[in-house]
């Protein structure tokens, strides 16, 4: 049976068609009945994944082609979710590296590919979107080969098979000149070029837990690939935790995969990817083993977080109006629950009982957690993201990001100048039909707040992607936000008359009829200093009439910041207040006199 199993992961940069290809493979393998209504991007099960069009959580499915069972794992493309990727690669024997036939290899491609090459996995390269206008598949193959060389691939890995595909139309070809109307060439390549799983079905049972979940009917579940042996439903097994401690339990449910569905099975052997229930507590990287001869498997090392921010109990005057879960106990319980499945996350207590220091792999990683919490009814305030420094041989080191930008020629000078101020070093430049791809190495601190500025400078035409590169010696201070903010003087409802008079002072973040409180940020000041303003003052009524005094008030639409933009925008003395219905920017200290006192104490 083990000869008829292939375990593969699909890795790619965001938006290169990974989930669309999985959809096509499912359709052509007969998983769906004829005329069955199929949702687009069926693997994106999470609401946030559907809205953003990105994969956040890895997912498993199985495709049957004749006697061959292909277990497929859909992996996230963002480097921020690298913890998911590192675990998943331990379950598979090959990867499909999906590359856009126009864009070529991108930063997240590099990140995930390096992880797989380091594990000795030999990829199959799929050049996708060959139907796209401007596609250049031959040039992209050369770029992929160069990337393999750059990432120190061995000789076997450099001899990679290539499949040309259009996931959108469900076709694949072994050669560009071939005619094809299905994905059979891809399935044939997987059969020929992917090795069956290594493992001995007759050896004592061993399974490394790669992901965990909770099911309200059967309790905690653990998913992983069986490395050796066979396991049966109802059988007693041992659980070995990270410290080597052994506990015993019974497999209450054993689940395998048929298409997208989890199905109950009686037994599974080496090479199978299964889900096991039966233990109250199970953790990622722990081993489930034979009860009579428990042998632990090597621990999966996960890259450390590079960014942290403080999660603070919401203490604004509007606290508790919109949220259901608002206390420090609620927030602690939610973060503890997240730690069980989100292995790249770290949570630490601070000197204040109302503040938790949460560290993750990047802004997106942390903002997805915050967005999920607000949708669940949580209220909290968060501080500006800060990078995590390390001491290496007595020297202060900071995280460096690999940044790739695609920018039209007319804007590249401005962008390069701005990045230079943020201590970025250019490593390469390529010209592509009216746009240039420029690559940099930049301190992670330099990217905080840059995306909004970049989109403004390029009139929305620029594309930027980045992933963690390495730790390097501290590059020196980087200037922060240049503009001050407009701060509400008192609590009340904003009035169009006041906002009309304030819009010359800067950019407004609120419109008329919005409830504000003292210390809340309602706009960006045109100058460097903060300005306390009254946005709630109405026009004084008078009997005197004069031409021009009753003109209609015209207000420029306010700038609405998304969660990521708000996190990037705030300064060290500011917070983002997050509730299920609202995002508000505020000063850490709401009272103006207290702000002045704290400034004097800090020596500013």
- Strand, coil or helix: what is 172? strand
131 is in an annotated binding site: yes
Report the half-sphere exposure of 523 (CA within 13 A, side-chain side): 30
Q: Are strands 386-387 and 307-312 parallel, antiparallel or unpaired?
A: antiparallel
**Under a CB-based contact definition with an 8 Å cutoff, are residues 322 and 582 in contact?**
yes
Q: What is the largest CA-CA distance in the chain?
A: 98
Alpha-carbon distance of 100 to 226, in angstroms, equals: 33
129 is in an annotated binding site: yes
- Find the angle CA(378)-CA(379)-CA(381) to the nearest 5 degrees: 135
**Under a CB-based contact definition with an 8 Å cutoff, are residues 427 and 494 in contact?**
no
542 is in an annotated binding site: no
Alpha-carbon distance of 62 to 531, in angstroms, equals: 60
- Find the angle CA(137)-CA(143)-CA(148) to the nearest 5 degrees: 125
**Under a CB-based contact definition with an 8 Å cutoff, are residues 492 and 516 in contact?**
yes
Q: Using CA atoms in the order 516, 522, 528, 531, what is the torsion angle rounded to 10 degrees?
A: -40
Alpha-carbon distance of 321 to 198, in angstroms, equals: 57
**Under a CB-based contact definition with an 8 Å cutoff, are residues 375 and 580 in contact?**
yes
- From 402, 342, 344, select the one nearest 13 (Cα to Cα): 402
**Under a CB-based contact definition with an 8 Å cutoff, are residues 85 and 75 in contact?**
yes
Burial 228-265 (b: 16+ CB within 10 A, else e): bbbbebeeebbbbeeeeeeeebebebbbbbebbebeeb
- From 193, 172, 195, select the one nearest 184 (Cα to Cα): 172
130 is in an annotated binding site: yes
17 is in an annotated binding site: yes
Q: What is the DSSP string of 238-294?
A: EEE-TT--EEEEE--EEEEEEBTEEEE-SEEETT-EEEEE--S---TT-EEEESSS-
Q: What are the percentages of helix, strand and coil residues in the chain, rounded to 5?
A: 25, 30, 40
Q: What is the DSSP string of 554-575?
A: --PPPPPPPHHHHHHH--TTEE
469 is in an annotated binding site: no
128 is in an annotated binding site: yes
**How many residues does this entry show for the chain?**
604
Alpha-carbon distance of 266 to 195, in angstroms, equals: 26
Alpha-carbon distance of 365 to 80, in angstroms, equals: 5
Q: How far apart are the first and last CA of the chain?
A: 71
18 is in an annotated binding site: yes
Binding-site annotation, residues: 15-20, 128-131
Binding-site annotation, residues for GTP: 15-20, 128-131
């Amino acid at each position: 049976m083990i000869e008829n199993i292939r375990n593969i992961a699909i890795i790619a940069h965001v938006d290169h068609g990974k989930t669309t290809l999985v959809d096509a493979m499912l359709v052509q393998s007969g998983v769906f009945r004829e005329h069955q209504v199929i949702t687009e991007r069926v693997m994106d099960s999470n609401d946030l994944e559907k809205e953003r069009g990105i994969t956040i959580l890895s997912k498993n499915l199985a495709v049957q082609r004749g006697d061959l069972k292909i277990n497929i794992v859909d992996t996230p493309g963002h480097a921020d979710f690298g913890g998911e990727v590192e675990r998943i690669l331990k379950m598979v024997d090959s990867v499909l590296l999906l590359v856009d036939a126009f864009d070529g290899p991108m930063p997240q491609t590099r990140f995930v590919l390096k992880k797989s090459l380091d594990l000795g996995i030999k990829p199959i390269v799929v050049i996708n979107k060959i139907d796209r206008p401007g596609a250049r598949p031959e040039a992209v193959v050369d770029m992929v080969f160069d990337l393999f060389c750059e990432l120190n691939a061995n000789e076997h890995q450099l001899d990679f098979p290539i499949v040309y595909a259009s996931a959108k139309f469900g076709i694949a070809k072994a050669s560009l000149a071939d005619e094809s109307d299905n994905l059979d060439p891809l399935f044939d390549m997987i059969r020929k070029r992917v090795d069956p799983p290594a493992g001995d079905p007759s050896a004592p049972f061993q399974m490394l837990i790669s992901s965990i979940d909770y099911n309200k009917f059967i309790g905690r579940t653990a998913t992983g690939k069986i490395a050796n042996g066979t396991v049966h439903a109802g059988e007693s097994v041992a659980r070995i935790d990270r410290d080597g401690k052994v506990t015993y339990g019974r497999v209450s449910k054993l689940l395998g995969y048929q298409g997208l569905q989890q199905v109950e099975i009686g037994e599974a052997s080496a090479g199978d990817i299964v889900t096991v229930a039966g233990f109250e507590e199970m953790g990622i990287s722990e081993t489930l083993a034979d009860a009579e001869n428990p042998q632990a498997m090597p621990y999966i090392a996960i890259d450390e977080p590079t960014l942290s921010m403080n999660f603070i109990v919401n203490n604004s005057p509007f606290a508790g109006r919109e949220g259901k879960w608002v206390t420090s106990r609620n927030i602690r319980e939610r973060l503890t629950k997240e730690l069980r499945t989100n292995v790249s996350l770290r949570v630490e207590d601070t000197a204040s009982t109302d503040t938790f220091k949460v560290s993750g792999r990047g802004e997106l990683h942390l903002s997805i957690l915050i967005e999920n919490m607000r949708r669940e009814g949580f209220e909290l305030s968060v501080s500006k993201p800060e990078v995590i420094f390390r001491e290496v041989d007595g020297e202060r080191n900071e995280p460096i990001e690999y940044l790739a930008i695609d920018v039209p020629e007319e804007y590249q000078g401005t962008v390069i100048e701005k990045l230079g101020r943020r201590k970025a070093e250019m490593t390469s430049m390529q010209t592509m039909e009216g746009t240039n791809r420029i690559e940099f190495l930049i301190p992670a601190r330099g990217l905080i707040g840059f995306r909004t500025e970049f989109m403004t400078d390029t009139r929305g035409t620029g594309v930027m992607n980045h992933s963690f590169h390495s730790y390097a010696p501290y590059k020196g201070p980087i200037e922060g936000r240049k503009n001050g903010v407009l701060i509400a003087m008192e609590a009340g409802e904003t009035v169009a008359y006041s906002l009309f008079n304030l819009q010359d002072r800067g950019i407004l973040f609120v419109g008329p009829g919005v409830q504000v409180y003292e210390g809340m940020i309602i706009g960006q000041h045109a100058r460097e200093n903060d300005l306390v303003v009254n946005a709630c003052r109405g026009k004084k009524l008078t009997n005197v009439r004069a031409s021009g005094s009753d003109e209609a008030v015209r207000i420029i639409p306010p700038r609405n910041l998304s969660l990521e933009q708000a996190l990037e925008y705030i300064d060290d003395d500011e917070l983002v207040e997050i509730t299920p219905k609202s995002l508000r920017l505020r000063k850490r200290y709401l009272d103006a006199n207290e702000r002045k006192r704290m400034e004097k104490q800090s020596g500013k």
